[in-house]
Amino acid sequence: MKTIFHLDMDAFFVSVERILDPSLEGKPVIVGGDPHGRGVVAACSYEARKFGLHSAMPIRNAFRLCPQGIYMQGHYKEYVRFSKAVRKMLEKYFPLVEQASVDEFYLDFTGCEKIYGRPDEFAKQIQDEIWNKFHLPCSIGIASNRTIAKIASDFRKPRGITYVPHGDETKFLHPLPIERIPGVGKATFPLLRARGFTTIKDIAEASQDYLAALLGKWGLELWEKANGHGSDSLYAGHERKSISKETTFDTDVVSSETIEKILFDLSSRVCQLLRSENWMASTVSIKLRYSDFTTITRARTIIPTDDDKTVYETAVDLFRKAYTRRVAVRLIGIHLSKLSHFLEQEILFEDEEMVRKKMVRAVMKIRDKFGYESIQIGKAE
- The predicted-structure confidence for 180-222, as pLDDT tens digits, reads as follows 998 888 778 999 999 999 999 999 999 999 999 999 988 999 9
Summary mean pLDDT of the chain? 87
Is 179 an active-site residue? Answer: no
Residue of 17, 47, 104, 260 marked catalytic: 104
Q: Where are the domains of the chain?
A: 7-164, 174-226, 242-374
Residue 279: predicted pLDDT: 82
* Superfamily of domain 7-164 in the CATH hierarchy: Reverse transcriptase/Diguanylate cyclase domain (3.30.70.270)
Q: What percent of the chain has pLDDT over 90?
A: 64
Q: Rounded distance, CA 50 to CA 26, Å? A: 12
Looking at residues 234-241, what average pLDDT do you find?
Answer: 65
Looking at residues 91-119, what average pLDDT do you find?
Answer: 92
State the DSSP code for 90: H
Tell me the pTM.
0.65
More confident residue, 26 or 361: 26
Looking at residues 79-84, what average pLDDT do you find?
Answer: 92
pLDDT band at 306 (very low <50, low <70, confident <90, very high): confident
pLDDT band at 374 (very low <50, low <70, confident <90, very high): very low
Alpha helices in 135-207 (DSSP H): 146-153, 169-173, 188-194, 200-204
Residue 183: predicted pLDDT: 84
Topology of domain 242-374 in CATH is: Dna Ligase; domain 1 (3.30.1490)
Residue 30: predicted pLDDT: 96
Residue 185: predicted pLDDT: 80
Residue 56: predicted pLDDT: 82
Question: What's the start-to-end Cα distance of the chain, in Å?
Answer: 60
For 174-226, give the CATH class: mainly alpha
Q: What are phi and psi of 306, to 5 degrees?
A: -130, 20
Grouping H, G, I as helix, E, B as strand and the rest as coil, residue 240 is: coil
C-alpha distances (whole Å) from 70 to each of 26, 82, 185, 278 are 11, 22, 28, 34
Span 317-362, pLDDT tens digits: 999 999 998 899 999 999 999 887 665 433 333 334 444 555 555 5
Residue 344: predicted pLDDT: 44
Q: Rounded distance, CA 266 to CA 176, Å? A: 42
Looking at residues 242-271, what average pLDDT do you find?
Answer: 91
Looking at residues 113-118, what average pLDDT do you find?
Answer: 93
The listed range with the strongest mean pLDDT (168-177, 182-191, 293-302, 317-326) is 168-177
> Is the pLDDT score of 176 beyond 80?
yes
DSSP 354-374: HHHHHHHHHHHHHHHHH-GGG
